[in-house]
Amino acid sequence: MKRQFNAVKQAVALSIGLLSVSAVASEPLTVEEVIGLQQVAQAQVSPSGDNVAFTRYVPRALYKEENGLHWSELHIVDDAGVERPYITGQVNVSNIQWSADGSLVYFLAKMGEDKHTALYQIPFNGGQASKTLSLKETSVADYALSKDGKQIALIAKPAKDSSVKELKELGFMAEVYEEGLTNKQLFVVDLAASDKPLTPIAWNIADFVSDVQWSADGEQLLVKTQPTALIDDQYMKSQWHIVNVAKQQVTTSFATEGKLGAAEFSHDGKYVAILGAEDKHDPATGRLYLAETQSGKIAEWIPNHMGHISDIEWKNNKNELYFITNINTDSVVGLIKPGSEKYKVVVKPGKFIASQLSISNSDKTLAIRANTDKHPNEVYMLRGSKHKASRLSDSNPFLADKQFAKQESISFKASDGVEIGGVLIYPLDYQKGQRYPLIMSVHGGPESHDKDGWLTNYSRPGQLAAAQGYAVFYPNYRGSTGKGVDYSKLGQNDYAGKEFDDLVEFKDHLVEMGLVDSAKVGITGGSYGGYASAWAATKLTKHFAASVMFVGVTNQLSKFGTTDISNEMHLVHARSYPWDKWQWYLERSPIYWAGQSETPLLIMHGKDDPRVHPAQSMELYRYMKVQGKEVRLVYYPGEGHGNRKAPAQYDYHLRLMRWMDNYLKNDAKTMPDHKIDHKAKLEAAKEA
């Protein structure tokens, strides 16, 4: 069904004077439009290569729909760009796969009276979705179809004992922290529709199963495991195995160290391509490995690659591998053969920012999920020997009539000779020689980096701030990915050291360009970017006039003891333990410098954050509050390490920009009102 989001969005915009009754071409983006942006989540090309099935995220309508996560719809688009909706409205479709003959699309969902997620199918030629199979009293977490479509590998938790619910209702709810965790298990069954929930026997794998892939002949499985359900184990202790299907036995385990990503069999089963880390101290899974299935021998395929590889896809008829690599602020699609370290560039940098690959049976068609500086993720198709690219989907047609500020990548050498850079968005009304306020938007990780594509969202103001007269800069400070492993390790064992000194050098560079007013620089970021924002408001307070910290670190001592990734923190960030150097950890914490702060700080945090405990925000708030500093703390109930629901995202952005306007534009000496007038917007939406 067609959703009514646009009407509600327009009414809300009217209530704050941002949108006229009739849309006018070449207007700048509004926050309501950004919160309502739809984008492609997953794209899978059909076996024939003529169609692409994809899921599209659709945010819930502000002030209209009940609070919750974005909806996820199923659509199919053909090679001419003609799109057909298949499952739309208030649904959540995920994990789409085509049947071997292309007649069906399989997906996971809870539909109708479902209490648990089940596997569904819908005919390509039209018709209703029907349940293929479900598991008794548990959800299907993931699945993989065999190449011939006769079998399916399922990943699921075992069904709960019926007494658990009854005892909980009677008050027996004691939780033993990090013990008694439930592992996900592996099941393999024949793919046949069943009206009754299945109770298959789990394979005898003691560890937590997190991923599974079939070999082309259906005789082997690639199975990824970790010791427990803990996220720290997922990050640092995962391992890929080859399992004989008939015997249900591991035949080969690949010896890798550190973080692990995706893996896939070559078409003839001779090789496995694996994304992983260089070693246990490598913060990302950006290395490409080639493994031999018979011997288990594994080696890095493109040693010293000065980028980070994010996705892989073998051809179906040749031992050649497509991959996406992110180099600096661009992405490249490459093609490589075993035995060679050199790759062919299929899509050059600057075309788009690619993030997912899917290949047709003939190898002649590639579907790619990608974005540019003018739109979020959409479906693209590459065809033929020249890999001609065409965009197929258009999730937000209104963007074609919007004004966009100039966006470009910049780089320069820091004072110590290290090359640093990032992405700069100029003010929409930019005039050479005029100086503007700056918002520096710092990415998290730090094992991440910003690319020269779509950068605007609720917490990273991008084009929204540019339309309001700000310059916006996205810094890839040392420790970021996209420039090889050595660069990504530069911040290790140096919390808030040279990595955050880079932020001051970025600011100074933009001032020297003649673009930025040195006295009107604000900073914001989430997670590690929140840590940077807190550091900027305390230790580096002389350089920043306003700061907005989101789910950020403020005390490195207590952070280690309250996070769910303490092992990862030790191995790929700190390279030491707090008890090794207590004072050093304390002095690399924003709370230590709170007393010298002259920067008004807005702190926002999801109340259910497992990664950076909400107490991190409380600590800095209290340290600043009792010393008479300008600080405000906002918690978001039901949100975790980042806001995932539209109302919380909307509220967050309004507070972010009001804080920046207050101090960077209005030169205010006191904090803005803590209230957001959601009541007026609600009434406007009801009237519409």
pLDDT of residue 4 exceeding 60, the answer is no
Burial 442-454 (b: 16+ CB within 10 A, else e): bbbbbbbbbbbbb
Residues 554 and 424 in one domain: yes
pLDDT at 567: 96
**Phi, psi angles (nearest 5°) of residue 487:** -65, -40
Which residue among 341, 376, 395 closes a domain? 395
Interval 479-507 mean pLDDT: 97
Residues 391 and 435 in one domain: no
Distances (CA, A) of 342 to 335, 337, 345, 639, 674: 9, 8, 10, 44, 57
Residues 650 and 549 in one domain: yes
Q: Is residue 61 part of a domain?
A: no
**Tokens matching residue 71:** 């909806």
CA atoms within 13 A on the CB side of 427: 19
Q: Is residue 186 part of a domain?
A: no
55, 213, 207: which is closest to 143 by C-alpha? 213
Q: How many domains does the chain have?
A: 2
Q: Is residue 236 part of a domain?
A: no
pLDDT at 386: 87
pLDDT at 372: 98
pLDDT at 544: 98
Residues 369 and 419 in one domain: no
Question: Which range marks the domain in which residue 675 is found?
Answer: 402-687
Which residue among 395, 427, 452 closes a domain? 395
Residues 494 and 578 in one domain: yes
Which residue among 350, 365, 395 closes a domain? 395
The CATH number assigned to the domain holding 358 equals 2.40.10.500
pTM of the model: 0.94
Distance (Å, whole) CA 52 – CA 77: 5
Confidence of residue 195 (pLDDT cuts 50, 70, 90): confident
What Rg value do the Cα atoms of the chain yield, rounded? 25
Q: Is residue 584 part of a domain?
A: yes
CA terminus-to-terminus distance, the chain: 20
**Tokens matching residue 406:** 């100039």
pLDDT at 384: 87
Taking residue 16's Cβ as centre, other Cβ atoms within 10 Å add up to 15
Confidence of residue 3 (pLDDT cuts 50, 70, 90): very low
Q: What is the 3-state secondary structure (H, E, C) of 101-137?
A: CCCEEEEEECCCCCCCCEEEEEECCCCCCEEEECECC
Q: Is residue 522 part of a domain?
A: yes
pLDDT of residue 12 exceeding 60, the answer is no
Interval 162-190 mean pLDDT: 93
**Tokens matching residue 623:** 């340290």
Distance (Å, whole) CA 476 – CA 455: 13
Interval 61-65 mean pLDDT: 96
Q: Is residue 134 part of a domain?
A: no
pLDDT at 648: 98
Residues 477 and 501 in one domain: yes
pLDDT tens digit sequence for 570-627: 999 999 999 999 999 999 999 999 999 999 999 999 999 999 999 999 999 999 999 9
Distance (Å, whole) CA 57 – CA 93: 9
Distance (Å, whole) CA 284 – CA 277: 6
pLDDT tens digit sequence for 372-407: 999 999 999 999 888 999 999 999 999 999 999 999
CA atoms within 13 A on the CB side of 595: 2
pLDDT tens digit sequence for 660-685: 999 999 999 999 999 999 999 999 99
Residues 386 and 433 in one domain: no
